[in-house]
A = this chain, B = another copy of it.
Amino acid sequence: MRAALLSIGDELALGQALDTNSAWLARELAARSILTDEHRTMMDDRVALAAAIRDLTARYDLLVITGGLGPTEDDLTREALGDVLTPDRPLVADTDALAGLERWFAEHRIPMPETNRSQAQRPEIMRMLPNSHGTAPGLAGRHQECLVYALPGPPREMKPMFTDHVAPDLPESVDGEVLRTINVHEYGLGEASAAERLGALTERDRKILVGTTASEAIISARIRVLGAPGKAENALEETASRVEEAWQPYCYGRDDASLSSVVGGLLGEAGKTLTTAESCTGGWLGKTVVDEAGSSAYYRGGWVTYSDKLKASCLGVPLGMLQTFGAVSEEVAEAMARGALKAAGADFALSTTGIAGPDGGTDAKPVGTVFIALARKDREGSSASVRRFRFTRGRTAVRDRTVKSALQILRFSLLGVSDDMPLLWQVPR
């Protein structure tokens, strides 16, 4: 079964808004063994939409349309579907849908504008899908051999409608074969080394595909297996394990796993606590730790010591040290981590200090220079290690890579990986 997606709206075609629905739908379809060959995004133009619907329904088994179901005159999905599915007949008013709309407005105590009546219109041979999160009902039907669905554009309305009313219609396996996918993620190895370590695993095979993508310095192996139920899962698991082994110890998880969720899990298991002392990241590290629900079990909190004064008053970094070595230095990074460890009474402390840019660089410490320290409580009291990095690609990337590197350093420590294990962009001593 092959699918196409069509997203509709001037704001999408003109790039004023980003279409995230299509990628979500393609993943949902892939999880049900349906490959999406094509997405289209088009303007609110009835003639062009009808032509696209005609073309796509002729070439695919499934077409999912999003958008253009609102009440305004530039919402033309219903009309364009009518032009193709029932070309010589007008749209009809759906009594149930109209009653549903009236109920929705009554419940929200808003008088129903006349224009919203158009949302209850449908081509005669289509049926309507209820919308539990908004006013626009969806549409379902068939044109020749192709299943056709039209869903509202807002993701919070579209996603539950797909899950509740489209997915149950779709076959679980096609021609006796199912499609299974896993994404495996690593940080700190670099794209070229990651690809090299995979070696022959990425050679194209009709049944087992392994490709790599990089997104904000996270390298992911996308593994896709087509096969008989049972066999496909086994081949997928075996391939994923081989990728994970090839990427040790940089590989931190699969699919929805993030560095912060994995580190949070390890801290929780070990019953250990974390604190943070941030300069160049300005709170981003703490924010990322707190992204995880339940982080209050292991995260004590931290300091954003952006000014030298706060580094001294909150974390006890000696003013003489700040003057001698500068705020961006190995010494200050270590003192920040040790100071935070003590002040928060935590088991681990991560600190960051660096020059995110665009200004502030020197020959000795160019823009992108960052020091990350990890302090640990141990039997002798505490110990600390510091790494120096030289990140590239601008202020946001420098700060993002700093956060990710800090979390990977903590993960290494929690797993007993040596402090000498290098990370991408690290400057050797």
Contacts and interface: CB of A to CB of B under 8 A. Distances in A.
Contacts of A183: 16
A307 B303 contact: no
Contact of A16 (B25, B213, B289, B291): B213
Contact of A37 (B43, B73, B213): B43
Contacts of A207: none
B343 A293 contact: no
B293 A282 contact: no
B48 A37 contact: yes
A304 interface: yes
A306 B358 CA distance: 31
Contact of A40 (B39, B215, B303): B39
Nearest to A358: B293
Interface residues of A, number: 87
Interface in A228-277: 276
B345 A11 contact: no
A395 interface: yes
A213 B17 contact: yes
Contacts of A429: none
A13 interface: yes
Interface in A124-142: none
A42 B314 CA distance: 54
A30 interface: yes
A348 B20 CA distance: 38
A31 to B, nearest CB: 10
Contacts of A181: 14, 16
A294 B209 CA distance: 46
A227 to B, nearest CB: 17
A184 to B, nearest CB: 12
Contact of A296 (B15, B290, B307): B307
A211 interface: yes
B14 A35 contact: yes
Interface string A326-369: 00000000000000000111000000000011110000000000
Contact of A14 (B27, B41, B285, B356): B27
Given A38-B40, A395-B293, A396-B291, A73 B302 contact: no
A289 B282 contact: yes
Contacts of A156: 393
A118 interface: no
Interface of A: 10-20, 22-28, 30, 35-43, 45, 48, 52, 73-74, 156, 181, 183, 204, 209, 211, 213, 215, 220, 222, 224, 276, 278-291, 293-296, 299-307, 309-310, 313-314, 343-345, 356-359, 393, 395-396, 399
25 contacts: A10-B209, A11-B211, A15-B25, A15-B30, A16-B213, A18-B18, A18-B23, A22-B41, A38-B48, A40-B41, A156-B393, A281-B290, A282-B291, A282-B299, A283-B283, A284-B290, A286-B286, A286-B287, A293-B395, A299-B307, A301-B307, A302-B303, A310-B344, A314-B314, A314-B343
Closest 5 CB pairs of A and B: A282-B290, A283-B286, A15-B26, A283-B283, A301-B306
